[in-house]
Structure formats: structure tokens, C-alpha cells
Amino acid sequence: MKSHPEFAADLTGFTGEAPLFPLPNVVQFPCTALPLRVFEERYQRMMEAVLSEDRLIAMALLRPGWERTYESNPEIHEMVCLGRITADERFESGEYNIVVTGIHRAVVVAERETDLPYRVAQLELYRDFYSEKPLFNREVRHQDLLLNFRRLFPASRADSLFSQVLEAGIPLGVTCDLLTSALKLSLAEKQMLLEELDVDLRSDLLLEKIRERLPASGAELRVRTYPPTFSLN
């Protein structure tokens, strides 16, 4: 298998470590923007440090049962998304509104022992992989994903997304991440798609999830909107 020469991630300032931002209800993907409200004091401290340095954090999904140990170090899924804070607003209360833009898949190799109120992890970066012998015609798969996704949003603003994806020649792996981020999937399904490095297999899984949400017959779908509404964090 080989790595695809896709959009080079801006890893400026990345030292191999980054603060962890574990959340119970968010899975972020590379090349996607995630708006968040930061209100816990320990993460306010994290924001102060990150914004004065490289602006990099690792978005992690908490494993089930996190409620029992949330104030300490609850277990997380090891595959995370390294992101950069691309917009921020601080309030008098100390809270922040931020936008995190996903940069790269990564795996938590170890967590560093510190006196900080937040967690810091050593990360190993992982890129998308493309088999030298594709399982199918990737251009056709690209079209299948977009056309089936469009059927889920028949009367929406999604046309601009499709035109941008088609005109920009975005790699299949990035397209999968963009569509997955926009779909209303379970956290387990999104985490599974984040962890799948083989782009052909990831597109198989995503196409299956999209088709599961299409009507079994030719009946009209009820109108849906795109982009979907963000949940508060």
C-alpha cells in the first residue's frame, strides 16, 4: 500500500506531543471545522497555553463509562484527530468559543505525566493509504458517494459542497471524511470510520452507511437540511 500525495497537512510547531481534549459526544475528522464552547476551568487553562504556542490540540472521543472517572483520566479511543485552533474568542468569564480545524489522524502512544490540570499525549501520525491495486474504480466510487449523499439532502444547500468537491479534485479519503462529518451517524460509527486508514475500505463502509439511510423504495425523502445543526459542547 502507498500513501496518497494529498493535501499536505500544516504541521507547523508540532513536536510529537499535543494536549488532549477528550469529549463524550464528538469525533472530528481531518479537513473539517469544529466549533466548540470551552467552559471547564482545566480546559480554559489548556486554551491559554495552546493559544500562546502552536495552537494544536488532539480531539479524542471518550470511551463508554467515562462518567465514572471524568474528573480524572477517563479512557479514550486511541485514534484521535490532531487539530489546530483557527478561530478563538475569549469572554470575561474565562470561557472560550473556538473553531478547531482537523489536520491529521493520529494515535495516542503514551500520555506524559505532568502537573498540568489537562492531559498531554505523545502522538504518532497516520496518513490515508491507497492500495496499488484498487478494489474498484475510485472515480466511480467518488461519484457514487456524492450522488447517494445528495439523495439524503434533496432540497438543501448541499449543491455548493458537491461542486467544490468535484471541481477541486479532492482525494477519495478526504471526501469520505467530509461526508462522514456531515452525516448523522452514531459516535461508534464515526469512530470506526476515523480508525479505518485504508481509503477503499473506508469508502465501502461509508457508502453502506449512506445507503442504509436511503428509502427502501422510490418514495420521496422528507426534506433534510445541510449543513446539519451542531450540538452544543
* 11, 143, 184 from 211: Cα distances, Å: 35, 14, 13
User: In terms of domains, do 108 and 169 share one?
Assistant: no
Please indicate, yes or no, whether residues 90 and 201 belong to a single structural domain of this protein: no
Q: Which domain holds residue 172?
A: 129-212
pTM: 0.85
Give the per-residue pLDDT at 68: 80
Helix (H), strand (E) at residue 41: helix 41-51
Looking at the structure, do residues 78 and 146 belong to the same domain, yes or no? no
Give 85's strand partners: 100
Residues 39 and 133 in one domain: no
* Number of folded domains that form the chain: 2
Residues 158 and 90 sit within 8 Å (Cβ to Cβ): no
As a whole number, mean pLDDT of residues 168-190 equals 91
SS3 199: helix
Do both 116 and 188 map to the same domain?
A: no
pLDDT confidence band for 4 (50 / 70 / 90): very low
**Which tens digits make up the pLDDT trace of 195-216?**
999 999 999 999 999 999 887 6
